[in-house]
Amino acid sequence: MALVWRNILILVFAHFVVSHLSTRCGEPTKYPGKQLHKSYRHKLKFYDGERVMYTCPPGYTPSEGSLTSRCLRGHWTALNLKCQKKKCNALGDVENGQYIREGQSFGDKAIATCNKGYVLRGARVRMCMQNGWSGTDPICEVSKIMCLAPAVANRWIKPGERTQYTPQDTATIVCSEGFVLTGSPQVTCGPDGQWQGLPACRSKGQFAKVLLSRLAIPKTCPTPDLGKNGTVKEQKSDYMPGQFISVTCNEGFVGSGVFTCHAHSKWHPKEPLCQLITCSAPAVANGRIKPGSRVYKPKDTVDVICNEGFDLIGSPVVTCGPDGQWQALLECRPKRISATGKCGPAPSIPHAFPRDGSFTLKEYPSGARIRYKCSTGYVRARGSTSIHCLNGQWTNLQLRCERAYNCTPLHVCHQSTCIGVFGLKRCCADQSVFDIYELTGPKVRICRDGGWDGRSPVCEPVHCPPPPEVKDAEMFDPIYDHAPFGHVVSYHCRTGALIGAREIYCTKNGAWSAPPPECKDIVCPNPQVPRGSRMRGFRAVYKYGNTVTIACNPGLRLLKESFVTCGADGEWKPKLPECV
């Protein structure tokens, strides 16, 4: 009877174990666009009633539904979690410009554009990222680049000709009577101060010849020779009509743009050429310049000297600007000598004013003295600060005021501030920032006339590329987008042995800490030791990581280690011992 009861208890226990095992769940279901929480990724078996949690990928946030799935009678319940893109806050206004937005959700772009007559300084494109908009608001500055009247012979301009045009201005070319237009009648002032796509007004007879030549077999255009003054993108030996090239001129040269090959072997709108930016010799009526030259490069300076009997109005030193224009207006006016010995109003001096407040007087007695002070933002560079009235004329004022090139503080990254003085370089991020952030943009900016050069850099979180997949391996804590700094992934081989690092993490350099591992079927030979035997670790096949304990027959002594392991190269580590 006792035997019967014992068999019944065994059967009940076996039924309980089998039914309990049958209700276990395996690996949780994978859902596209969702991620299993990292605390569950290393677990392969779950009991009935257990729950797992899911999260949304970077750039997304839960919008509705439950974050969990439950193991129920051996199956995972369906996940109804929905994720939506994160939204960025509204962008600020761009003074003298605006943003063209695709939207304000994760991955959307906002493109900054300036109003007519202004140029953009800073990042043109901003992206809606995980933590908000990338970069900072750009600035639209007044453009100093101008186009002269279009140089097209035998034409007139609608609605009316002007001497200067700002970039993006348009003009319509109309040919005079007896001439025919070749090209587009509407032209645009380009950002480099050159008209884009100037046409030509040809006589009707010449136009017929041109038309016949266009009906001939198209000719190719050769690659332009820019020397060391610029580079050509998409460079080839020749180009068929309709193909185009992009030319980028080096700093100090003008002529960058996109040019199209025409059927008559000529580039449109003009022959690609990178020309040195120069200033022509300034013309000073009743005066001369020193040193004299035919052309000057940007930053070159000249001294202006008026002829006898003339006074200089303006700075005695002028500079060739980066746009090929002199950065001052010069004039030599005839000296005025009063019969009464009195002097007229105080002379106007660039960037300076009389400090005694008497500049409103219309005349001064002989012997009067006026002291000048540099305007706000300027400092005295050289020369005397005062003039005297002698014999009805003012003595020459040698004062020269230069801009105090102090730049405002730069606020970059986290608690990192740059304050600079003209010509001094300052790094825009301290070393502590680089532990978890990387610099996008210039590392060094220089304080120049008008403020800091270059665009504002941005310290963005360090990311690594998506972790590499390994053949025949499962990845725990995967991520399908760029991984943030410190993110850890681990690998488990479905078949074979794992060779290499089981876990790798995203380092502060934006790279993974180690190469991905490999899954290999590595087998070691049977550990045959003459006059010895295996005490532990009996197996039909020995794979990587298996261990064996060796013992010698009675009366023999073991040389080397008794405990050996199957290594990654298919050899026992350390080598098999000997029995002596």
Residue 91 falls within a domain, yes or no?
A: no
pLDDT > 80? residue 411: no
208-264: per-residue pLDDT in tens? 555 544 444 456 788 888 888 888 876 777 788 778 888 888 888 888 888 888 767
Residue 508 falls within a domain, yes or no?
A: yes
Mean pLDDT of 201-208: 68
Lowest average pLDDT, out of 42-51, 145-154, 428-437, 567-576, goes to 428-437
pLDDT > 60? residue 420: no
Radius of gyration of the chain (CA): 41
Query: What integer pLDDT is reported at residue 457 of this predicted model?
Result: 75
Strand-pair partners of 412:
416
* Dihedral (CA of 65, 68, 72, 78) sign: positive
Among the candidates 480, 498, 520, a domain finishes at 520
505-522: per-residue pLDDT in tens? 888 788 888 999 988 888
Query: Residue 113: which domain range?
Result: 97-142
Query: What integer pLDDT is reported at residue 8 of this predicted model?
Result: 56
444 and 468 within one domain: no
CA distance 264 to 208: 15
CA distance 280 to 324: 8
- CB neighbours (10 Å) of residue 223? 14
32-66: per-residue pLDDT in tens? 888 888 778 777 788 888 888 888 888 888 888 88
Cα angle vertex 140, ends 139, 143, to 5°? Answer: 140
Q: How confident is the model at residue 443 (pLDDT cuts 50, 70, 90)?
A: confident
Mean pLDDT of 343-372: 76
pLDDT > 70? residue 371: yes
pLDDT > 50? residue 424: no
- Give the C-alpha distances (Å, rounded to integers) separating 88 from 91, 106, 425: 8, 7, 34
- Give the C-alpha distances (Å, rounded to integers) separating 72 from 15, 32, 67, 208, 273: 19, 22, 16, 87, 75
Going by their DSSP bridges, the two strands 458-461 and 437-440 should be labelled as antiparallel
Residue type present at position 369: R
568 and 552 within one domain: yes
Tokens 């003595």 belong to 395
Q: In terms of Cα–Cα distance, which of 410, 540, 368 is closest to 548?
A: 540
Residue type present at position 2: A
Inter-residue contact 446 to 435 (CB < 8 Å): no
381-404: per-residue pLDDT in tens? 888 888 888 877 888 877 888 776
- CB neighbours (10 Å) of residue 255? 22
505 and 453 within one domain: no
Among the candidates 39, 60, 85, a domain finishes at 85
Query: What integer pLDDT is reported at residue 158 of this predicted model?
Result: 66
CA distance 481 to 484: 9
- Give the C-alpha distances (Å, rounded to integers) separating 394 from 211, 347, 373, 447: 68, 8, 17, 38
Residue 41 falls within a domain, yes or no?
A: yes
Dig out the tokens for 234 from the structure.
Answer: 């998409």
pTM score, whole prediction: 0.28
Q: How confident is the model at residue 360 (pLDDT cuts 50, 70, 90)?
A: low
Tokens 């202004």 belong to 118
Strand segments, DSSP code E, in 344-501 are 352-354, 369-374, 378-382, 386-390, 393-394, 400-403, 410-412, 416-418, 425-427, 437-440, 444-448, 451-452, 458-461, 463-464, 473-476, 483-484, 488-493, 497-499
Query: What integer pLDDT is reported at residue 116 of this predicted model?
Result: 73
* Dihedral (CA of 540, 543, 545, 549) sign: positive
Dig out the tokens for 117 from the structure.
Answer: 């007559």
Residue 268 falls within a domain, yes or no?
A: no
| CATH classification of the domain holding 34 | 2.10.70.10
533-549: per-residue pLDDT in tens? 877 777 888 888 888 88
123-148: per-residue pLDDT in tens? 788 888 877 788 777 878 766 677 87
pLDDT > 60? residue 428: no
Query: What integer pLDDT is reported at residue 16 of this predicted model?
Result: 43
- 206 DSSP assignment: H
More confident residue, 411 or 120: 120
Inter-residue contact 262 to 219 (CB < 8 Å): no
Residue 252 falls within a domain, yes or no?
A: no
Inter-residue contact 477 to 489 (CB < 8 Å): yes
Q: What percent of the chain has pLDDT over 90?
A: 1
Average pLDDT across the chain, whole number: 76
Query: What integer pLDDT is reported at residue 118 of this predicted model?
Result: 74
514 and 489 within one domain: yes
CA distance 73 to 397: 99
Main-chain dihedrals φ then ψ at residue 211, nearest 5 degrees: -65, -40
Residue 473 falls within a domain, yes or no?
A: yes
Q: Number of folded domains in the chain?
A: 5
Q: What percent of the chain has pLDDT over 70?
A: 80
pLDDT > 70? residue 205: no
Dig out the tokens for 212 from the structure.
Answer: 């016949």
Element (H, E) at 133: strand 132-133
318-337: per-residue pLDDT in tens? 888 877 777 766 677 766 55
* Dihedral (CA of 120, 121, 122, 128) sign: negative
Residue 496 falls within a domain, yes or no?
A: yes
C-alpha distance across the termini of the chain, in Å? 60
Going by their DSSP bridges, the two strands 425-427 and 444-448 should be labelled as antiparallel
More confident residue, 218 or 69: 69
Residue 395 falls within a domain, yes or no?
A: no
Q: How confident is the model at residue 357 (pLDDT cuts 50, 70, 90)?
A: low
Chain centroid, CA 531 distance in Å: 72
Mean pLDDT of 415-422: 40
pLDDT > 70? residue 166: yes
pLDDT > 60? residue 22: no
